Amino acid sequence: MTVAVHLENVHKSYNNIPVVNDLSFTINAGEMFGLLGPNGAGKSTTIRMLTTLTKPTQGQIEVFGYDVVSQPILAKQRLGVVLQAVSVDGDLTVWENMELHARLHHIANPGRQRLIDQWLEYVDLAPRRNSLVKTLSGGMKRRLQIARALLHQPQILFLDEPTVGLDPQTRRRLWEIIRDLNKQGMTMLLTTHYMDEVEYLCDRIGIMDGGKLISLGTLQELRSTHGEGLVIKQVGERWEYVFFPTLEDANSYLNQQENKTGMMVRPSNLEDIFVELTGRKLD
């Protein structure tokens, strides 16, 4: 199986303060990988290193076999990036934004025009090609960012909180686009604070905290490791969570309690596991 991204013993420090600490993981070609962690966990720094914007203090990072430090141009040619912050020019039209980006990547005509038309059609922005970007909705701007990131035909797409601040309908439309791209073979790395997004989209999930990778696996593997059943009990104004290997085990425990007031059983989910591992919710 082809390896799309490989990190080995990666460290990053600022002023001798470690931000990423001995990080190692692999993303396979065609995989949809979710990278989670509370604010300050080191996710953004990891993405910056992967996209050649920041050099690691120590360790090795490769994107489709190209070292991001010694071969940054070759690595960048293989990746596309959709940032959380809107990074398209509001004073240009949709088409002008695409044209500028394509020229920066030295994409020649007539192929350049064909690719612009293809990706604007794909993200449902062809009717707005002559509209100023500042007149678009937030969801349209995010779709434009995705189309622009795909122009140079990358092999992997980095999505940094792509649906933050969007309404539920727009989020679901972006999910459809992301899933369809992945089904076509696009490798993706997604960071998000929305647990339902990860559960719906991702093949495997890595959880970071304190600059380290503290858990890695599929959702089912994480649930099997930490417990598929959950007993929740209200204690004063707080809720206590107790994991059990299976839902049946959790129900059996509840049935043995003389006083079941304020107690309930349900299947565990990714947010439960995240809070159990990091001790705090994403914000």
pLDDT at 120 over 80: yes
The model carries a pTM of: 0.90
Supply the pLDDT for residue 283.
Answer: 47
Residue range 147-192, pLDDT digits in tens: 999 999 999 999 998 898 888 999 999 999 999 999 999 999 999 9
pLDDT at 282 over 80: no
Residue range 137-151, pLDDT digits in tens: 999 999 999 999 999
pLDDT at 110 over 70: yes
Q: Which residues contact 22 (CB under 8 A, 6 or more apart)?
A: 9, 10, 11, 59, 212
Residues, the chain: 283
Token pair 């858990």: residue: 215
CATH 3.40.50.300 fits 3-221, yes or no: yes
CA pair distance 258, 205, nearest whole angstrom: 38
Whether 29 contacts 3, CB under 8 Å: yes
Confidence label for 235 from pLDDT (cuts 50, 70 and 90): confident
Instruction: For residue 106, count CB atoms less than 10 angstroms from its CB and return exposed for 0-12, middle for 13-18, buried for 19 or more.
Output: exposed
Whether 231 contacts 242, CB under 8 Å: yes
Mean pLDDT of the chain: 93
Please give the structure tokens belonging to residue 95: 């088409």
Cross-strand bridge partners of residue 67: 62
Confidence label for 85 from pLDDT (cuts 50, 70 and 90): confident
Instruction: For residue 183, count CB atoms less than 10 angstroms from its CB and return exposed for 0-12, middle for 13-18, buried for 19 or more.
Output: exposed
Cross-strand bridge partners of residue 239: 234
Strand order in the sheet with 32-36: 79-82, 156-160, 187-191, 32-36, 204-209, 212-217
Q: What angle do CA 221, 226, 228 make, to 5 degrees?
A: 75
Supply the pLDDT for residue 83.
Answer: 84
Annotated domain spans of the chain? 3-221, 228-267
